[in-house]
Amino acid sequence: MKSFEGVENLATASTNQYKLALAMAKRVRALRNGAPCLIPEIDNPQQNSVKAAMAEFARGLISYTTAEDQHTDQGVHKS
């Protein structure tokens, strides 16, 4: 289960695991609604949407940012 380990590493490195979970849930919904899967080895990504989304995030094919990241990138810092 390399995908699970990869996502676990992402969660450990993330400053906000809740946002990671939300981003993954959004990708799962997109796959279930017919979005193309970025992992060609996944058979029937609509049926295996959770597995496909985990693999995409674990391989770094899908990224997400939080509002805090965007503010920091733009030079705005929270105090």
pLDDT per position as a tens digit, 4-32? 677 888 878 877 888 889 999 999 999 99
Q: Rounded CA gap, 12 and 58, in Å?
A: 12
The pTM of the full predicted model, rounded to 2 decimals, is: 0.73
pLDDT per residue as tens digits for the range 28-46: 999 999 999 999 988 888 8
Six-digit token pair at 12?
Answer: 């450990």
Per-residue confidence at 79, pLDDT binned at 50, 70, 90? very low
Six-digit token pair at 2?
Answer: 């390399």
User: Is 47's pLDDT higher than 80?
Assistant: yes
The pLDDT value recorded for residue 64 is: 80
The closest of 75, 14, 2 to 22, measured between CA atoms, is 14
**Terminal C-alpha separation, the chain:** 40
Residue partners of 50: CB distance under 8 A and separation at least 6 = 28
User: Is 66's pLDDT higher than 90?
Assistant: no
Give Dmax (Cα) for the chain: 47
Ordered by start, the domain boundaries in the chain are: 2-12+30-73
